[in-house]
């Protein structure tokens, strides 16, 4: 009987061995990946499934004026929230809550929230305590209350463009609320607990708690009373002269501190959403305009510093000047006359000022304009601040040489003009404008920093310029800015508004910028009115400047520098047709 042959193929055994080995190696490799490479990620995933982190909002730092008076504070309100897991009957619960919450929500929206796949959902935020008490009295399963801070602005519209506003979560959206968000917000508290899949706390599990850290307080350079008065005076002027808007800035030339900054229109930050977006704009730093004749103070100071003119130098001045293919006119018709530089500034002659500007070597005047701060941010770092527009050197044409000295062909903000006049008042030293005086943390520690400074023109030049600007107010286009008992230096401005398509239309900006006392400047003020009637800055902005400056000098207890005349009626210019 034949015997059966057995298979002794070593190849099959080797293949089987290799297959099993590769399988075990793959499993081992996968285990290594799971344990070593992906282990931390899976550990975090497991922790996320069982851990719950609850954040407690930090109290936002208050914003105060320079004397510690509150401008923006956080007050405790009540917030209603739900844990849908514990809500027994969403529809019935919503029906009982809706009448109590009133305008906060309707029953349909509440029912939808109560069925969301989450453990925490807001139902109504930052409501009065009495409403929250009524909700608690309902004793509804899964419905809870907690205390939450809400931003409150006790002055209403006061300093609204400076302060800005926050969203419902307390995050800054505009103004210094946005600019100093990281300083004001503090650090939220955190509590970490471990829970089972049904959301119940695990009794033996670890938990942690971190106290919230309150935000720092901001002390602004603003003087609350002066801010209120400035806003009121600007609003009255805007209404009286039927202007479409306006801005005013009050600052100390020696320190750069802004004591008041006002704009029209304004808004109430307690209900910012009820106003148009344009009302939120801080026009003093965001809106550009051509300054017109008010810019002649810059031209004058630069020319005196460069040594291209003296106060007594005379120019032959007709009432119109053809130059670089354009014809430039004075604001009034007059015979060709010989005018000193002092007279050119006093009577605000465009033709005379153009002739002064043409005395500079090419590129020199443009550098002075840049040194005064035009074409660059002021250093305030205010949200949406505009740097202005100064033509590049390559674009500085013959026409530019004629227009810029008289404040055309450049675009500036009211803040930049206030800073330029402060530079003249501060003996030629530019001081970076500032709104933040200091910050204070929860322990009472104060922090502040000095502003940047730079010399723009020499003291001798600004001294001569100040005398001529004083004459503008004493007997020139700025007589409406006279203040009994004080020497006031300043300059009027009336400028056509450029059209978006090029050229100029029939709308004007009237302005007046100046400082006092002229012999020892303590305060600089600028007033800009958009499309006033009448158009002349000397007739509209100058008396508004006087109102604000007169109050500021009294409020800050600055002593008079000359004997008061006792009259409130300023003298007329020598030629009543001269207006600017």
Residues involved in catalysis: 293
Q: Is residue 306 exposed (0-12), middle (13-18) or buried (19+ Cβ within 10 Å)?
A: middle
Decide if 477 contacts 349 (C-beta within 8 A): no
Q: How far apart are the C-alpha atoms of 419 and 255, rounded to whole Å?
A: 11
What is the b/e burial string over 230-268, where b = at least 16 CB atoms within 10 angstroms of the residue's CB?
A: bbebbbebbeebebebbbbbbbbbebbbbbbbbbbbbbb
In 3-state terms the chain splits into helix, strand, coil percentages (rounded to 5) of 35, 25, 40
Q: How far apart are the C-alpha atoms of 249 and 284, rounded to whole Å?
A: 7
Three-state helix/strand/coil letters over 100-144: HHHHHCCHHHHHHHHCCCCCCEEEEEEECHHHHHHHHHHCCCCEE
SS3 569: coil
Check whether the bond before 433 is cis (ω within 30° of 0): no
Cα dihedral across residues 268, 272, 273, 279: positive or negative? positive
Q: How far apart are the C-alpha atoms of 413 and 408, rounded to whole Å?
A: 13
- Tell me how many degrees the CA angle 243-247-249 measures, rounded to the nearest 5: 150
- Bridge-based pairing of strands 217-220 and 63-64 is parallel
SS3 241: coil
């Amino acid at each position: 009987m034949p015997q059966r042959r057995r298979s002794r193929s070593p190849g099959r055994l080797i293949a089987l061995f290799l297959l099993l080995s590769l399988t075990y190696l793959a499993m081992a490799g996968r285990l290594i990946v799971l344990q070593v490479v992906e282990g931390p990620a899976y550990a975090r995933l497991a922790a996320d499934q069982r851990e719950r982190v609850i954040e407690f909002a930090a109290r936002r730092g208050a914003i105060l004026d320079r004397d510690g008076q509150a401008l923006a504070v956080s007050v405790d309100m009540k917030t209603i929230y739900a844990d849908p897991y514990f809500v027994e009957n969403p529809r019935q619960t919503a029906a009982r809550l809706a009448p109590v919450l009133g305008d906060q929500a309707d029953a349909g929206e509440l029912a939808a929230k109560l069925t969301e796949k989450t453990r925490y959902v807001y139902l109504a935020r930052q409501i009065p305590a009495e409403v929250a008490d009524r909700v608690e009295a309902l004793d509804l399963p899964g419905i809870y209350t907690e205390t939450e801070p809400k931003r409150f602005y006790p002055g209403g519209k006061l300093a609204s463009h400076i302060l800005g506003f926050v969203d419902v979560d307390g995050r800054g959206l505009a103004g210094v609320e946005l600019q100093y968000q990281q300083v004001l917000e503090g650090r939220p508290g955190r509590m970490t607990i471990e829970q089972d899949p049904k959301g119940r706390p695990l009794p033996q599990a670890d938990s942690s708690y971190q106290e919230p850290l309150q935000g720092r307080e901001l002390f602004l350079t603003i003087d609350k009373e002066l801010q209120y008065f400035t806003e009121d005076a600007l609003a009255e002027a805007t209404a009286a002269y039927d202007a479409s808007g306006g801005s005013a800035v009050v600052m100390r030339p020696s320190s750069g501190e802004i004591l008041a900054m006002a704009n029209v229109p304004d808004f109430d930050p307690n209900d910012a959403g009820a106003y148009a977006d344009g009302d939120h704009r801080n026009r003093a730093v965001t809106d550009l305009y051509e300054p017109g004749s008010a810019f002649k103070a810059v031209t004058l100071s630069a020319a005196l510093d460069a040594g291209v003119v003296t106060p007594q130098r005379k120019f032959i001045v007709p009432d119109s000047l053809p130059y670089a293919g354009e014809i430039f006119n004075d604001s009034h018709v007059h015979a060709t006359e010989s005018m000193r530089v002092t007279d050119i500034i006093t009577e605000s002659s465009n033709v005379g000022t153009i002739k002064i500007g043409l005395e500079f070597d090419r590129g020199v005047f443009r550098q002075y304009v840049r040194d005064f701060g035009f074409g660059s941010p002021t250093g305030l770092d205010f949200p949406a601040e505009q740097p202005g527009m100064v033509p590049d050197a390559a674009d500085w044409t013959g026409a530019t040489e004629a227009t810029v000295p008289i404040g055309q062909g450049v675009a500036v903000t009211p803040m930049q003009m206030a800073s330029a006049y402060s530079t003249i008042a501060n003996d030629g030293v530019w001081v970076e404008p500032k709104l933040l005086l200091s910050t204070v943390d929860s322990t009472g520690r104060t922090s502040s920093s000095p502003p940047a400074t730079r010399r723009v023109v020499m003291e001798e030049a600004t001294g001569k310029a100040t005398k001529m600007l004083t004459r503008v107010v004493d007997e020139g286009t700025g007589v409406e800015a006279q203040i009994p008992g004080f020497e006031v230096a300043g300059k009027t401005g009336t400028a056509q508004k450029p059209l978006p398509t090029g050229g100029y239309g029939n709308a004007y900006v009237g302005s007046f910028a100046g400082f006092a006392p002229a012999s020892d400047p303590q305060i600089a003020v600028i007033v800009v009115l958009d499309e006033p009637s009448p158009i002349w800055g000397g007739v509209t902005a100058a008396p508004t400047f006087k109102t604000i400056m007169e109050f500021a000098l009294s409020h800050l207890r600055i002593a008079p520098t000359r004997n008061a005349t006792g009259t409130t009626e300023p003298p007329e210019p020598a030629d009543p047709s001269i207006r600017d």
